[in-house]
Amino acid sequence: MLLVSQIREDFQRCLKGLEKRNFPNAETTLNKVLDLDRARKDTQTQRDKIQAESNSLSRQIGGLMKEGKREEANAIKEKTSEIKGQIKDLEEDYNQIEISLRELLYTIPNIPHSSVKAGKSAEDNEIILEKGGKPVLGASKLPHWELIKKYDIIDFDLGAKITGAGFPVYKGKGARLQRALINFFLDEALAEGYMEVQPPILVNEDSGYGTGQLPDKEGQMYHANEDNLYLIPTAEVPITNLYRDMILSEEDFPIKNVGYTPCFRREAGSWGAHVRGLNRLHQFDKVEIVQITHPDRSYEVLEDMSSYVQGILEKLELPYRVLRLCGGDTGFTSALTYDMEVYSAAQERWLEVSSVSNFETYQANRLKLRFRGEDKKSQLAHSLNGSALALPRIVASILENNQTEDGIKMPKVLIPYLGFDIIN
């Protein structure tokens, strides 16, 4: 969430930023934050004053009791009982104000970076780069949902039987392709200096709040009721939360983690056209990169992460483009997001395969993720993450783009991982 100090000291920038996102009633909302914060301070000042008085009286009673001056002590006791009610009232006021303030802040998204253009939807995103030629396929080209049946490598019906729609079963060379991609992505990240982690794929409520999935996207996560745990929608959640409630030292930077996990998304209400086959699933595999950085370096790091992801796409020989998301399409918690899309030649569509974002202090504030700099003072770090990469749409485009009459040719870079070079 945003810092109140950000809103107070940089009101105009916050306001303009929210307007870029088409956030309704931005000015009223920001002013309400400032009002609540002022009320919070006033109430605290009053509460502290009375609390101090009460503490002092209690200490006096302690002293008198020790000296055996029971009557004097009892006289003071009466005074303190009066104050007690006042403290309780002020305490309740304070808590109420704090809750209202926090709940209000939860509803306000991150302020977009200055390079982010105003816009309402995906149509307003800027294409900043396009690379690789689109393959030309013959008239017999098939979309991936046909190809997977033809070669019997991914089975949606079986998945539906044992679990439900959107939970495919990968079989034979399909399963091996998954495993190869995961290993390839992890090895690439290791070579880039990321440390591999294997986090739990269920997380508690605190972690959900830490990275901002809660309360914003409650309905999008599967919830294990009995134990109040959430299935992760992305490895961003457990990996970033590793650093929750921490004060790092500056030498710890840069923190670079990579992890492979399955991801689970309920995708409530988002089914329809364009989501056939692998385009949208309830369970999918993803390798995620996360960095925690010094605020001065986070945008440099964002560019590094973006070009790193582009490098993988080039190695896989997939045509791709990079978008800078507009205000309206940028995720709630992000200040700047690049989306990478690969071209899927049979569907003749661009498919999003990665999203690389800088959250600045938005997550760090909730996470209480700080570091101590040269001046020994603690300040919030910046957090970033990106998919590197999400598997299903990569698989879709590999299958579609590389189909030939003899079968589906595998990208060269994967052959050592696969142990075969064609699916036929």
Partner RNA sequence: AGAGAGGUGGCCGAGUGGUUUAAGGCGCACGCCUGGAAAGCGUGUUGGCGGCAACGCCUCGAGGGUUCGAAUCCCUUCCUCUCUGCCA
Residues that bind RNA (CB under 7 A): 41, 44-45, 47-49, 51-52, 54-59, 61-63, 65-66, 77, 80-81, 84, 247, 370, 378
CA distances from 36 to 4, 108, 230 (A): 10, 15, 32
Please state the closest distance from residue 378 (CB atom) to RNA, in A. 4
Smaller CB separation from RNA, 31 or 54: 54
Please state the closest distance from residue 176 (CB atom) to RNA, in A. 23
Strands in 327-415 per DSSP E: 336-344, 349-358, 369-372, 378-380, 382-390, 403-404, 407-409
d(CA 89, CA 81) in angstroms, rounded, equals 13
Smaller CB separation from RNA, 73 or 422: 73
Using CB atoms within 10 Å of the CB of residue 226, give its burial: 0 to 12 exposed, 13 to 18 middle, 19+ buried.
exposed
Please state the closest distance from residue 381 (CB atom) to RNA, in A. 12
CA torsion angle 84 88 89 95 (round to 10): 160
Smaller CB separation from RNA, 333 or 365: 365
CA gyration radius, the chain? 27
Smaller CB separation from RNA, 47 or 171: 47
Smaller CB separation from RNA, 61 or 258: 61
Q: Where are the alpha helices (DSSP H) in 246-318?
A: 298-315
Structural contact between residues 403 and 419, judged by C-beta atoms closer than 8 angstroms: no
Smaller CB separation from RNA, 51 or 283: 51
d(CA 400, CA 415) in angstroms, rounded, equals 18
Please state the closest distance from residue 194 (CB atom) to RNA, in A. 27
Using CB atoms within 10 Å of the CB of residue 354, give its burial: 0 to 12 exposed, 13 to 18 middle, 19+ buried.
buried
Please state the closest distance from residue 349 (CB atom) to RNA, in A. 42
Please state the closest distance from residue 235 (CB atom) to RNA, in A. 21
Of 391, 340, 386, residue with least CA distance to 144: 391
Please state the closest distance from residue 262 (CB atom) to RNA, in A. 17
Smaller CB separation from RNA, 66 or 296: 66
